[in-house]
């Protein structure tokens, strides 16, 4: 598990096709010092398993499913990436629950250099339906608070610390980013869909106003 608090901005040293996937060699800086093969690192919000480790670098294999759901396949040598090691048991929890499982992609539609620094994104309806204003979202692995959610866009405000410690200061209109919506919202949405459709044992014929009233809701 991760929290969306970026610990280091690393560099891609190499990115080459490997079967249907991708093999990455990254400069992890200080994060490589205590890293062991098999440990997890979130790279631009995607949970990857370290293979060979030779500080300050480590190698990672990205499977086809991860490439299909994220923008990691677009990485090239020299690109910067947001890095976060997995949260240890008892570790400090500062962001929100981030699994490192990218749900989809969004496209930058607007940026503003005025304070506060605002970025706006367009995304597919199924992602937007799982977002609420003041809720949490991970963008390229960075835990952020949603400043607004409209019909086809959402917005976040970025503080100077986030701009200084992540790659988000370099966002450009038209750029694609990885999105992970809040895991709590995913479960609530799925539960309600099951209740409304009648797939839930609690409401085998679907949820109705009459059933809510009989259960004590009014």
Q: CA separation (Å) from 173 to 63, 86, 170?
A: 28, 31, 10
Report domain extents, the chain.
8-85, 104-186
Q: Concatenated DSSP letters for 94-121?
A: -S--B-S---EEEEEEEE--SSSEEEEE
Given this model, what pLDDT does residue 27 score?
Answer: 98
pLDDT of 36 higher than 90: yes
Any idea which architecture 104-186 has in CATH?
A: Beta Barrel (2.40)
CATH number (3.30.70.1070, 1.10.3720.10, 2.40.30.20, 3.40.190.10) of 8-85 reads: 2.40.30.20
Measured CA to CA, the distance from residue 155 to residue 133 in angstroms comes to 9
- pLDDT higher than 80, residue 22: yes
Summarize pLDDT for 126-147 with one digit per residue, the tens: 999 999 999 999 999 999 999 9
Q: Do domains 8-85 and 104-186 have the same CATH topology?
A: yes
Q: Which residue has the tokens 């480790």?
A: 53
- pLDDT tens, position by position, 143-193: 999 999 998 999 999 999 999 999 999 999 999 999 999 988 777 777 777
Coil/strand/helix, residue 199: coil
What is the pLDDT averaged over residues 48-62?
97
pLDDT tens per residue across span 183-194: 887 777 777 777
Average pLDDT, the chain: 90
- Round to whole Å and give the CA distance between 104 and 45: 11
């Amino acid at each position: 598990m991760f929290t969306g608090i970026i610990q280091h901005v690393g560099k891609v040293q190499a990115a080459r096709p490997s079967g249907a996937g991708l093999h990455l060699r990254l400069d992890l800086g200080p994060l490589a010092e205590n890293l062991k093969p098999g440990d997890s690192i979130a790279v631009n919000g995607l949970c990857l398993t370290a293979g060979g480790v030779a500080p300050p670098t480590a190698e990672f294999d990205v499977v086809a499913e991860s490439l299909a759901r994220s923008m990691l396949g677009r990485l090239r040598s020299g690109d910067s990436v947001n890095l976060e090691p997995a949260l240890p048991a008892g570790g400090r929890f500062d962001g929100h629950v981030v699994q490192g499982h990218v749900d989809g992609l969004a496209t930058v539609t607007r940026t503003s250099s005025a304070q506060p620094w605002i970025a706006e994104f367009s995304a597919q309806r199924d992602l937007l339906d799982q977002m609420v204003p003041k809720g949490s979202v991970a963008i390229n692995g960075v835990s952020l608070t949603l400043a607004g959610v409209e019909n086809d866009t959402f917005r976040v405000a970025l503080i100077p610390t986030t701009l200084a410690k992540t790659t988000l200061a370099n966002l450009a209109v038209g750029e694609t980013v990885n999105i992970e919506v809040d895991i709590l919202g995913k479960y609530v949405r799925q539960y309600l869909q099951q209740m409304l459709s009648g797939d839930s044992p609690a409401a085998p014929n679907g949820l109705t106003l009459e059933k809510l009233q009989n259960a004590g809701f009014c």
